Structure 1
Amino acid sequence: MKAAFIIGHGGNEVVKVRACEPVKRRPGEVLVRVEAATLNQVDLYMRNSGAGITHQLPQIMGLDAAGVIEEVDASETLLTVDQRVVIHPGITCGRCEFCQRGEGVLCTKMQLLGEHRHGTFAQWISVPAQNVFPMPQGLTFAQAAAMGVNYLTAWRMLFTKARVKPWETVLVFGIGGGVSLAAMQLAKAIGAKVIVTSREDSKLERALAMGAAHGINSKTQDVAKTVMAYTGGRGVDVVIENVGEAVWSIAMKSLVRGGRLVTCGATTGDQPPADLRRIFIRQLQILGSTHGDFSEFRALLSFIEQSGIVPVLDSEYPLDRIHEALTRLESGQQFGKIALQLMA
């Protein structure tokens, strides 16, 4: 089979597509023929350094995927050969205190595909049966693959952490990125009003065409002041952000009293000013969030099918052109997910 490996750390020169031994399925696992996967920021991080993440080189890249089951245990009752499926990339131990109480996303021994073990940028992958879920109807493989990281991350941020209600207003930073677009689509689908930011007018225009209530150019406008003007001086109920230091102060100033800020990233730095006085006087809630567990993934997939949400794809590439795909992601110019076609 063919797979994309990182063989060192640096730029695209350390990413190689090459033939390797076929995957062998173990008891309790499901062998999936991977039709499509999507790129995530962590793919760039693993290529660049992977610092702080235990891994061995060479390693197959990729976290999320969608494909078709080729082999499964004869005793398996929920999954069948030839079934279209999506993969949850978090392999949990099932035995730590967090797994035991149903919070696998906090597993102390979590192994993520493409980070701690071989990932999904391969034509076949074998994963535990608990990590394989039926694919929502009406989606392509590339669209379904996007569910495993970005949409699941946004789902947990919005509905588990922030507990967004239909009558609330949500501010989403950096529209165009995968998590941000997913958050906008999901919040809008329940009836919430969504304000988005971007440094590019073209991205704001696309978001408005998709149903965003208001767009703010963070390069030419004062985001906090614009939010306050738009909300009549009140502020938003929830902020969804994965940027970190560069927007932290703005995000805090944009919140209504008692508002909630949910963060899942720190691409511009992880040491913003705490602004403790604002936090306690205005009784703000700061919530950290990463990925999502199996029950959240199941709920997300059901919601996607019922709501008719279609993930936004920026572009699709065959596996052999992964360097172009990584360069596109690194440019920050994308609007939506960048996908790989593994069997093309």
Structure 2
Amino acid sequence: MFAVYAAAPSSDDPLAALTLGERPEPEVPAGFVAVTVKAASLNMHDLWTLRGVGIKAEQFPMTLGCDGAGVLADGTEVVLHSVIGDPAWSGDETLDPRRTLLTEKHQGTFADTVVVPARNALPKPAGLTFGEAACMGTAWLTAYRMLFVKSGLRPGQTMLVQGASGGVSTALIELGRAAGMRVWVTGRTEQKRALAAELGAHQTFESGARLPERVDAVFETVGKATWQHSMRALKPGGVIVVSGSTSGPDPSADLQRLFFLQLRVVGSTMGTREELADLLRFCDLAGIRPRIGAELPLERAREGFEQMLAGDTAGKIVFTR
């Protein structure tokens, strides 16, 4: 079958490890299902896989792609949940110490066929295209958990999204607006800020700009480059919800501000199967659709990886079959 995969880790030049070509047809163990992939979306995690982060050397070659949507053998249209836990674990699978993601232990979705545990294939709402559904399992699920499970925000409160154009950020803007939050967004360029406004942001600001007032919550995926601004943007008692650190994981903690203003810093990783099901229903009921910045056939996957590596995104990058 055709696949896009990491042949071996390449820490300094991740695209050097990117390979397009034939891979063996996957076996289907008991309790798993084969999904014919119709669409899959690109995530920063795929670049980390190419660099060899979060994956053991013996796991290569590894088919890339955490997210996807496709069809089961009986014709059922499904959306994939990429968090794969220990079968013996009960409760929130994101807390399972033995959990893994597609592309870490199990081969990913950038292929004609992907094999996943049967419970990881959820029914696709008819109102979502395969391309839209393929955006849900990582970036949109991460945003949903950050906003509705971790932040504690109520409709009418103000949220700040650091970074305007990535997959998680664009999802946060759309979900926050639909849920009745006042959504503020920072962006490095006028083009990125214009995208945020188009998606529903009430106000946009240059990165690091002084805000008109302090906010109830900040949503962080950038890390070191925006952390100081995030801390200073919060009201006393406010919360920063963190799900990534693309600019570096070692910001100044600013502990004096943290304890004196009684701020909270909350980590958030992916989401549960039940949260993905809720997200799909919410998008279907509210008519929310993910912003797809680029849709390419899988054979042109290298172009999508180049765009992500350069930071040239305007929503999700989706590969189709």
Determine if the TM-score, normalized by the shorter chain, exceeds 0.5: yes
Match of 2:63 among 60, 65, 80: 60
2:35 matched residue in structure 1: 32
**Contact 2:173 2:199 survives alignment (8 Å):** no
1:13 to 7, 16, 22: 16
| Equivalent in the alignment of 1:335 | 314
Shift of 1:52: 4.1
**Given the alignment of the two structures, is residue 294 of structure 1 paired with residue 239 of structure 2, yes or no?**
no
Residue matched to 1:73: none
Whether the 8 Å CA contact 1:92–1:109 is kept in 2: the answer is yes
- Structure 2 partner of 1:305: 284
Contact 1:94 1:104 in 2 (8 A): no
Q: Distance in 2 between matches of 1:21 and 1:62?
A: 17
User: Shift in Å at residue 140 of structure 1?
Assistant: 1.4
Query: Secondary structure of the residue that 1:197 maps to in structure 2?
Result: strand
Say whether 1:138 aligns with 2:127.
yes
CA distance in 2, matches of 1:300, 1:54: 32
Partner of 2:170: 181
Q: Deviations over 1:142-188 (max 9, x none)?
A: 11000000000001111111022111100001110000000111111
User: SS at 1:280's partner residue?
Assistant: helix
Q: Percent identity?
A: 39
- Check whether the contact 2:164–2:195 (CA below 8 A) recurs between aligned residues: no
- The residue that corresponds to 2:145 in the other structure is 156
Q: Deviation of residue 246 (structure 1)?
A: 1.1
In the alignment, is the contact (CA less than 8 A) between 2:54 and 2:104 conserved in 1?
no
User: Is the contact between residue 160 and residue 184 of structure 2 (CA under 8 Å) also seen in structure 1?
Assistant: yes
Tell me if the contact between 1:164 and 1:187 (Cα under 8 Å) persists in the aligned partners.
no
The offset of 1:27, in angstroms, is 2.3
Match of 1:91 in 2: 84
Contact 1:317–1:340 (8 Å) recurs in 2: yes
Count of matched residue pairs? 317
Which of 201, 215, 222 is residue 243 of structure 1 equivalent to? 222
Match of 1:77 in 2: none
Quick one: which amino acid aligns to residue 314 of structure 1?
Answer: G
State the AA in 2 paired with 1:307: A
Deviation string for 1:180-216 (max 9, x for gaps)?
0001111110110100011111121122122211000
TM normalised by structure 2 equals: 0.96
The question of 1:214 aligning with 2:203 is answered yes
Letter in structure 2 aligned against 1:39: L
For residues 139 and 54 of structure 2, the distance between their equivalents in structure 1, rounded to whole angstroms, comes to 21
C-alpha distance in 1 between matches for 2:124 and 2:84? 19
SS at match of 1:246: coil
Q: 1:322 maps to what in 2? A: 301
Q: Deviations over 1:11-57 (max 9, x none)?
A: 3232212122222322222211000100000111111x223433511
2-side partners of 1:153 and 1:289: how far apart?
Answer: 7
3-state SS of 2:9 partner: coil
Q: CA deviation at 1:310?
A: 0.5
Tell me which residue corresponds to 2:251.
Answer: 272
* Whole-Å separation in 1 of the counterparts to 2:242 and 2:286: 25
Aligned residue number for residue 113 of structure 2: 124
Pair 1:301–1:159, CA change in 2 (3 A): same
Q: CA deviation at 1:276?
A: 1.1
Q: Indicate the RMSD between aligned Cα atoms, in angstroms.
A: 1.3
Aligned partner letter, 1:50? G
Contiguous gaps of at least 5 residues in structure 2: none
C-alpha offsets along residues 245-297 of structure 1, whole Å, 9 cap, x if unaligned? 11111101000111010011111121111111111111111001110011111
Unaligned 5+ runs, structure 1 = 71-80
